[in-house]
């Protein structure tokens, strides 16, 4: 018997932000939350793709409560503007920090703020978002950051996070995800120290790919070639709709605690299980260094209060 889909606790009355919700893991996370009764804010860079995602969710469940927010995680000004809109509404019960750049440029590029583009998109934008939104989170809210198997497959240059001494596309992605996990675990340590009821959790989706994912018009439309190629990986891959179940578990399941690391049972696929993160990403000394770097790169101190 398949474990999918996992039952979700009723979410009526809860509000969530899912970044990068116009496609992939973010879309399926948002759709499942809305289907369980939550109000979900879908953020992303493209208003057209966000509208398509919202329409797909409402098409599957006419009563779904969703709204869209154009917010580019690579731009600190865009994150600030998005946060201002969120702060004008009711507190959030959770944030899913999903937005990210997977297909990284072959040469080093910088964001509009002068930060290495992949790091800016995958980590710094979310760091800036957390700093602004933390006081606006409800009691017992959860912040779920997307981890990655790539964190197990790369070294980490904590003294060269901007990759100024050497760049390649793989390192840019892997290093940005290690930094994201390090910030998420450091955030939870600081929340605990401050006596805050908010928790920070990391969830990785295993090896979740488009060609194993259901077609959703305007959201996920892989070509026949992609379907065929991805079908050859069926023994060790799953669809993004299944990878999203790990994220949903970390966000909503009873008993989830701050600082935990959740992933698929078989590492690359399967139902959610509690796992051990890489030593580097969970190291408090490294976490503190990445946090200090992020404060400098975003230009704002991030003090966690209870």
Contact by Cβ (8 Å): 180, 145: yes
Which parts of the chain fold into alpha helices (H)? 24-35, 47-60, 76-87, 117-119, 125-133, 169-194, 224-231, 240-252, 279-282, 284-298
DSSP string, 24-61: HHHHHHHHHHHHTT-EEEEEES-HHHHHHHHHHHHHH-
Which parts of 121-168 fold into alpha helices (H)? 125-133
Contact by Cβ (8 Å): 108, 175: no
Beta bridge partners of 13: none
DSSP string, 242-286: HHHHHHHHHHH-TT--TT-EEEETTSSSSSEEEEPPPHHHH-HHH
Secondary structure of residue 199 in the 3-state scheme: strand
Count other C-beta atoms under 10 Å from residue 123's C-beta: 30
Contact by Cβ (8 Å): 22, 52: yes
Tell which phi-psi region holds residue 206, choosing left (phi > 0), alpha (psi between -120 and 50) or beta: left
Q: Which residues are catalytic?
A: 173
């Amino acid at each position: 018997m398949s474990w999918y889909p996992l039952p979700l606790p009723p979410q009526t009355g809860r509000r969530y932000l899912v970044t990068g919700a116009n496609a992939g893991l973010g879309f399926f996370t948002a759709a499942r939350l809305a289907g369980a009764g939550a109000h979900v804010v879908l953020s992303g860079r493209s208003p057209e793709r966000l509208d398509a995602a919202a329409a797909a969710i409402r098409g599957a469940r006419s009563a779904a409560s969703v709204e869209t927010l154009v917010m580019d995680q690579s731009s600190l000004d865009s994150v600030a503007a998005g946060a201002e809109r969120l702060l004008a509404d009711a507190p959030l019960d959770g944030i899913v920090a999903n937005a990210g750049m997977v297909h990284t440029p072959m040469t080093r590029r910088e964001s509009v703020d002068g930060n290495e583009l992949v790091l800016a998109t995958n980590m710094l934008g979310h760091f800036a978002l957390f700093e602004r939104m933390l006081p606006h989170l409800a009691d017992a809210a959860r912040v779920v950051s997307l981890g990655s198997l790539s964190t197990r497959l790369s070294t980490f240059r904590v003294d060269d996070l901007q990759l100024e001494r050497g760049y390649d596309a793989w390192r840019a992605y892997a290093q940005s995800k290690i930094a994201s996990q390090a910030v998420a675990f450091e955030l939870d340590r600081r929340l605990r120290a401050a006596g805050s009821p908010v928790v920070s959790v990391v969830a990785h989706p295993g090896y979740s790919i488009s060609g194993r994912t259901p077609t959703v018009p305007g959201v996920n439309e892989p070509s026949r070639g992609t379907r065929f190629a991805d079908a050859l990986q069926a023994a060790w891959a799953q669809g993004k709709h299944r990878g999203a179940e790990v994220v949903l578990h970390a966000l909503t399941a009873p008993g989830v605690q701050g600082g935990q690391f959740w992933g698929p049972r078989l590492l690359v696929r399967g139902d959610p299980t509690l796992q051990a993160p890489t030593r580097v990403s969970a190291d408090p000394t490294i976490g503190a260094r990445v946090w200090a770097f992020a404060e400098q790169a975003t230009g704002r101190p991030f003090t966690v209060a209870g």
